[in-house]
Amino acid sequence: MKKLNDFLSKNAQGDLISWQAQIQAAEEFGLSLHDVEKAILTLNLLPARYQRNRQTISTADQLKLFESKVAVIGCGGLGGYIIEELSRLGVGTIKAIDPDVFEEHNLNRQVLCRVSNLGKSKARAAEVRVHEINPAVKVIPIKDAFSRQNGLKLLEGINIVADALDNVPTRIDLARICEFLEIPLVHGTIGGWYGQVTTQWPGEGTIQKIYRDCAETKGVERTLGNPAFTPAVIASLEVAEICKALLDQGTSLRQRMLFINMLDMEIDEIQIC
């Protein structure tokens, strides 16, 4: 460990460690890039890839993000962008859960979907993509549907959950399990020009309140579908909520939901108490 620390200190430019030095350290000391990143941040040095995070996220906060485990439930429209942004942000461990494979109708909006991976697992595509962007991030791909039966096990050890599901009943199951495990849940959902975001904190039952009068499996997306821009907007708002919750900064969308109408460009804040 001392040798690794000496190597890193010697190779720091200012307090930055280049990607090349990170790779070299991993090879020289037989460690994973994940382990080396932890050592860098623990020394209060910063992997150079995060230097533009800096005025927003301190090195100490970057370490907090690195030590965080985030579960993303669904790797489709919302989930793809959420996973992309979490990995660029430097969240250390991402559990990517989705039972499906890519189909042609996903190409209009799902950032993980490419012509070359049609028919392939969405969860696996998340792992491949993150490895291309930030190999220091650990991805745990789960090609299975989140359910009441496996939920407790899937969310074991997770700090916060991103809702990127495509139906109401599973979302309610997820919200109940997050309540039980006392894990915050960042909720996002989309349909056509519209989307909504909120964060359910333990004990607040926000998601059940939102859907208490909804007997349907789907919402307006059943008829409107989902264009390219809606998931990108809502996913980004979800990631901002996740980042703040992990760093205990700013003001969460707690007991309030943003309802976003991109057709008329209106954002309404709704109290969910």
List 111, 142, 155, 210, residue binding another protein (CB under 8 A): 210
Instruction: State yes or no: residue 217 binds another protein (CB under 8 A).
Output: yes
Distance CA 38, CA 47 (A): 10
Q: Which residues ranging from 237 to 256 are in contact with another protein (CB under 8 A)?
A: none
Q: Which residues ranging from 145 to 174 are in contact with another protein (CB under 8 A)?
A: 163-168, 171
Q: Which is nearer to another protein, 99 or 191 (CB)?
A: 191
Q: Which is nearer to another protein, 98 or 179 (CB)?
A: 98
| Smallest gap from residue 160 Cβ to another protein (A) | 17
Instruction: State yes or no: residue 215 binds another protein (CB under 8 A).
Output: yes
Q: Which is nearer to another protein, 47 or 76 (CB)?
A: 76
Nearest to 243 by CA among 76, 61, 45: 61
Instruction: State yes or no: residue 227 binds another protein (CB under 8 A).
Output: no
List 224, 233, 240, 258, residue binding another protein (CB under 8 A): 224
Q: State which H helix or E strand residue 96 sits in.
A: strand 93-97
User: Of how many residues is the chain composed?
Assistant: 273
Instruction: State yes or no: residue 216 binds another protein (CB under 8 A).
Output: yes
DSSP per position, 227-263: -SHHHHHHHHHHHHHHHHHHHT-S---BTEEEEEETT
Nearest to 79 by CA among 45, 125, 21: 125
Distance CA 66, CA 62 (A): 6
Strands (E), 119-265: 138-142, 160-163, 185-191, 194-200, 256-261
List 131, 209, 244, 254, residue binding another protein (CB under 8 A): 209
Instruction: State yes or no: residue 204 binds another protein (CB under 8 A).
Output: no
Instruction: State yes or no: residue 195 binds another protein (CB under 8 A).
Output: yes
Distance CA 54, CA 40 (A): 15
Token pair listed for 76: 């489709």
In the complex, which residues of this chain contact another protein (CB under 8 A)? 74, 76-79, 163-168, 171, 188-196, 209-211, 213-221, 223-224, 226, 231, 259, 261, 264, 268, 270-273
